[in-house]
Amino acid sequence: DQQVKQNSPSLSVQEGRISILNCDYTNSMFDYFLWYKKYPAEGPTFLISISSIKDKNEDGRFTVFLNKSAKHLSLHIVPSQPGDSAVYFCAASAYYGGSQGNLIFGKGTKLSVKP
Amino acid sequence: EAQVTQNPRYLITVTGKKLTVTCSQNMNHEYMSWYRQDPGLGLRQIYYSMNVEVTDKGDVPEGYKVSRKEKRNFPLILESPSPNQTSLYFCASSSRKGTGSYNEQFFGPGTRLTVL
């Protein structure tokens, strides 16, 4: 059973517009959420994260929103740039036993930003 | 430079021929992990290690072994590879603090394995 779901395998956006990538989760114990970005032939790199005590975290052009009641988070990229074209993975973790647990990843969404 | 390295980056082998993919990190991280990435399935955890001599199964451990004899190294061993282990493999590491704050994982560049 998938605990972290990214229901859109791909997304195409025009340069300069907003990109919105969505992620849903089922495990109410998750308390930390991360977005990773992956270019072809490279490993994933950390992009932005949010703790469950917040509903928004912003870092430059990237903002992550968390709606705990809906078990939904989204990543907004404004404005989108061609260099943002990559696969984006949503990941979640639960805190237990004195430390943060393993990351559970979604299947990823491939973002294409067209010039 | 802080990094996670994997070797080899590409490997083509045949069914049943034992192989090892090495992983090394220079950040003194306690936590290390192996993932495989397959089309339509995302990243799935194979094994992880909380510290030296402490390893545990992830979501898809069948057909794999690991060891953690040193803090910096976490090799992935396929004793008898099969075609269904053809995949893209990533090693990752992070520090582990018991404070409740999450420490992001740093990923290696990946190893593309093909088992014929």
Give the C-alpha distances (Å, rounded to integers) separating A101 from B1, B23, B42, B50, B109: 27, 21, 19, 10, 23
**A46 vs B103: CB contact, 8 Å cut-off?**
no
Cβ atoms of A103 and B105 within 8 Å: the answer is yes
pLDDT for B55-107, tens place per residue?
999 999 999 999 999 999 999 999 999 999 999 999 999 887 544 456 788 99
Mutate to test the interface with A, among B104, B106, B111, B112 (most CBs of A within 10 A): B104
**How many CB atoms within 10 Å of residue B18?**
10
Nearest CA distance, A81 vs chain B (angstrom):
23
pLDDT above 90 for B2: no
Report chain B residues whose CB lies below 8 A from the CB of A51: 102
pLDDT for B3-42, tens place per residue?
999 999 999 999 999 999 999 999 999 999 999 999 888 8
pLDDT of residue B99: 45
A52 close contact with B: CB closer than 8 A? no
* Rounded-to-integer distance, Cα A21 and Cα A106, Å: 12
pLDDT for A3-59, tens place per residue?
999 999 999 999 999 999 999 999 999 989 999 999 998 999 999 999 999 999 999
**How many CB atoms within 10 Å of residue B1?**
3
pLDDT of residue B61: 96
